[in-house]
Structure 1
Amino acid sequence: MSQLLSEQASQQLVNSIVDIAEKIALEKVKQSRKRYLIQKEVMEEYNVTHKVITEWEIMGLRKVKIGKTIRYDRQDIENVIEQMKN
C-alpha cells in the first residue's frame, strides 16, 4: 500500500486539525460564558422557539435593555428552566 502523505505532512495535517478544533472549542466556551444573550442566541443555545421564550417571559423571564437591544440574562433563563422542573 502506497503512502499518500509523508510522515511530516501527516503530522502537520493532524496538528492543523487539532488547532482548528481547539479554536472552535474555545469559541464555544466564550459563547457559553456570555451573560446576556439576544433572542436569536437564546433560541440557538437552548434549542427553543420564539413562542417558548414568550412563555418563559410569562413565567418571569426578564428582558434587559442594553442600548437599543433587548437581551436575556443567562442566569434568569436558568432560573426559569429550574422553576419549570419543580
Structure 2
Amino acid sequence: MAAIATIAVVFVSGCTSSPSIGVLGAYFPDWLFCIVAGVLLTVVIYLIVKRLQADHLMGPPAVVYPTLVAFLALAVWLILFQH
C-alpha cells in the first residue's frame, strides 16, 4: 500500500504549479500564448518570403507552414517559459 502511495505522490507532484499567466484577472495557459506567437511569427516569415519572391523554393505550403507554426511555438515556449 505504501508503494502505491509513493508512486501516486510522484505523479501528482507535477501538478503543483500551473503554468499560467494572469491577464486582466483571468488565467491563461502558457501554451496558448506560445501558439499565438508561433502563428504571428509564421505570418511574418510568410510575408518576408513572399516579398522576396522566394516562395517557389518552399515545399508544399500545407506542410511547411503548419510545421513552421509548431516549430516556432515550441521554440517560444523553450525560450520564454522554461523555469
TM-score by length of structure 1 reads: 0.34
Larger Rg: 1
TM-score by length of structure 2 reads: 0.34
Structure holding more helix per residue? 2
Which structure is richer in relative contact order (CA contacts within 8 A, separation 6 or more)? 2
